[in-house]
Amino acid sequence: MRESRTKQAEEQSFTEDLIENLPIGAMILDGKGTVIRMNRRQEEISGIERSKILGRTFPEAFPTTLDQGLREHYNRLLAERIPFDVIIDQYVPQYYDKKLTYHARGAALPTTDHVVLLHDLESEHYKVKRLVEQRTQELNESKTFLQSLIDSSPNIVLSTNLNGEILFFNRTAEMIFGYTEKEVVGRKTDFLLRDLGKQGKKLGGSPRTFDEILCVKKDRSVFPASLTISNITNNAGKTTARLYLLNDLTEQKAMEERLRLSERLALYTELMGGIAHQLNNPMIGVINFSEMLLKDMEEDDSRRGIAETICRAGKECLKIITGVLNSIKDPHLTFTRTNINAAVADTITAFRRQFGEERNELSIHVGLDDCLPPISGDAIQLKQCFLNILMNAFQAMDGTGKIGVETRYEERRKRIRIRFRDSGKGIPEGLMSKIFLPFFSLEELPGRHGLGLSFAYQIIKNHGGHIDVKSRVGVGSTFTVFIPTQIQEP
């Protein structure tokens, strides 16, 4: 009996120490919204002693936080136990005056009516986060309950003994790495984590942080992650194990790459806009005068071919200039209620009419999601965007191959996904970062100006979305367009 109580006390101490030393702010609320637990990091984030918060309801203690975009999510969590994950920019804390980026998460604890709130600020925005915080009898007495809570974390959590052998591997780790817990327990972390030989940044002695390391999945593919390693101590303060908290940085890296591309496109756009405006009127003059010359020439005039060449070249240049100007004008002036499926269907019809399937040995498979909500957008611009992507696929396949087009509604992220697959030549990895730049083309061929994908990217950006590309040389490419159902105005 005494041995059981000792083990129970050790588990309780382990839990308390784990929660108190989490690198993110955590609060546990009872079913009525009263704050019953608050860790050290939360005190730092809130700028107020926990003794002044404990026993108060969250709306009483943090009304300003709720008013800045959290109230609806908080009420649904408490009333309907619906989790949330919210980022608030330009957030002003309740107890001090400073603008920050604020990341809040909330989840219901499955075995009680309690909920957990996790908070982080800009300096920790892309660091490890954990859904853990509970001051209930179940948390103090039940190791199973604690493991269930850790398993619900959206971040990778694993623990090792002092020899580096894995003791625990949560479900998120299983999903991301591709291993089951049974496959990794007892093995050292070397096969999962690279670059741990480099010294991480020490915080207060125990935790070591790594801004970025490479992690290796079961299929041998790698992904970047940030890592915090903390010591787990027993009642006597002796280190007995180590806790590893990892945050997958794949999406963050993709966002950073899109930002870099947007910055480069902004420079090109400004330059092209200025040039286009300067060339537009003179080019119209070239076309008009060449057409006047053609009207005055006889059909057998030896100079007629030169005049026709001037007129044709002028019209081609004017077409390019018009495309540039259309891509950089304010698109929101023409936004209306738009059906994405209708825009895609019209684009496919126009594409088939122009190129045909039998004539070019081209097979097009279309799968449209009937549950797409309408968006606020410009249907004409979107059709041009989709047509440019299809044209790119057609050129990559030399008119022969398969194209797949599908739409889906991602309800959780409130966005529409339009995916274009082709069986073309693929894009070399070294050129992937250049395909959306103006005047870039994989092949220098007549009629290809390298503007199609650049315009497509600009159109989707104007609609608040982005385009992701995956490609393998000799296999084909997949262009995935994401458009939010509600435009976020700057």
Q: Where are the domains of the chain?
A: 12-128, 155-248, 249-329, 331-490
Look at residue 384 in the predicted model and tell me its pLDDT.
82
pLDDT one digit per residue (tens) for the chain, 490 residues = 566 667 777 777 777 777 788 888 999 999 999 999 899 999 998 999 999 999 999 999 999 999 999 999 999 999 999 999 998 877 888 898 887 778 899 999 888 889 999 888 754 443 333 333 344 454 445 556 556 666 667 788 888 988 889 988 888 888 889 999 889 899 988 888 876 655 444 434 457 888 888 889 998 888 888 888 888 887 777 888 888 988 888 887 777 766 665 665 565 555 566 566 666 777 777 778 888 888 888 888 888 888 888 888 878 777 666 655 665 555 566 688 899 999 999 999 888 877 765 556 778 899 999 999 999 888 878 888 898 899 888 888 877 888 999 999 999 889 999 999 998 888 887 787 777 776 666 665 444 555 678 778 888 888 889 999 998 888 899 999 999 987 544 3
How many Å apart are CA 118 and CA 350, to the nearest integer?
Answer: 50
Count Cβ atoms within 10 A of the Cβ of residue 296 and give its class: 0-12 exposed, 13-18 middle, 19 or more buried.
exposed
Displacement of CA 299 from its chain's centroid (Å): 60
Look at residue 404 in the predicted model and tell me its pLDDT.
92
Look at residue 169 in the predicted model and tell me its pLDDT.
87
CATH of domain 155-248: 3.30.450.20
DSSP, residue by residue, 293-334: HHHHS-TT-TTHHHHHHHHHHHHHHHHHHHHHHHHHS-GGGG
Task: For the domain made up of 331-490, give the CATH fold.
Answer: Heat Shock Protein 90 (3.30.565)
Look at residue 272 in the predicted model and tell me its pLDDT.
61
| CATH 3.30.70.20 is right for the domain spanning 12-128 | no
- Lookup: tokens for 156: 């990778």
Contact present, 396 and 424 (Cβ < 8 Å):
yes
For 289, list phi and psi in degrees, rounded to 5: -70, -35
User: Are the folds of 12-128 and 155-248 the same?
Assistant: yes
The radius of gyration of the chain from alpha carbons, rounded to an integer in Å, stands at 29
- Diameter of the chain measured on Cα atoms: 113
Look at residue 206 in the predicted model and tell me its pLDDT.
57
How many Å apart are CA 290 and CA 138, to the nearest integer?
Answer: 86
